[in-house]
Amino acid sequence: MADKVQFNLKNVHYAPMTTTGEPPEWGTPVKIPGAVSLTLDQQGELTKFYADGIVYWQSSSNNGYEGELEVALYPDSMLVDIWGYTKTDTDNVLIENATVEPKPFALLFEIDGDANGRRYCMYNCSGTRPGIGSKTNEASKTPQTQKSTISAVPLENGDVLARTTDETTPTVKQKWFEKVYKKTAAAAASLSQTEPAAAESDAGEEAASA
């Protein structure tokens, strides 16, 4: 049975990118507890060229996604692994240094559905440092959250994300948060065979119309 609706964010993880070239590599995913919300809007433009009084040609660009991840409190491990905080050896105090460049990472998460739900992996992310803030307690205690602006851009090979489907094998789903998903050799070969076939089909249609 396929999902009809989606709701509830959970199982948010980050995996530091250890190799940025091709093929990229990632470390073991680390859980970010206390996920509150995630909003990722597509980034790209639709370009239209007009001629002969019609839309003669059009193209859309895919620049990935950008949005906001809100959590109860970002873990110290992510401050160190991604945003370059250091911890003093003797006092165990975290130090933030403005000259340290943040590291790219994969963002993994799960969204429930009415049937199966979906698991995602955004391969190449960067994020702003979470802010600092709170307020005094009143009659009741209201937890304060932290937010980071997330930018997910394509890898060198063009891949932006991976997502499970209703037909994804149970083994892949079970191991989704153990390591960053990579296309198998068979899957990559299948994709490479599909793309030329599609191009040939387009060429054939153009020749027939001519």
Query: pLDDT tens, 119-178?
Result: 999 999 999 999 998 888 888 888 999 999 999 999 999 999 999 999 999 999 999 999
Per-residue pLDDT at 55: 93
Partners of 147 in the β-ladder: 70
**Position with higher pLDDT, 202 vs 19:** 19
Q: Write out pLDDT tens, residues 100-111.
A: 999 999 999 999
Q: Write out pLDDT tens, residues 13-45.
A: 999 999 988 899 999 999 999 999 999 999 999
Per-residue pLDDT at 158: 95
pLDDT at 11 over 70: yes
- Cis before 102? omega within 30: no
Tokens for 32? 């970010």
- Locate the domains of the chain by residue range: 6-179, 183-210
d(CA 90, CA 39): 39
Question: Which residues make Cβ contacts (< 8 Å) with residue 140, sequence separation at least 6?
Answer: none
Helix (H, G, I), strand (E, B) or coil at 169: coil
Backbone angles phi, psi at 169, to 5 degrees: -65, 145
Q: Tell me which of 1.20.950, 2.30.110, 3.30.460, 3.90.700 is the CATH number of domain 6-179.
A: 2.30.110
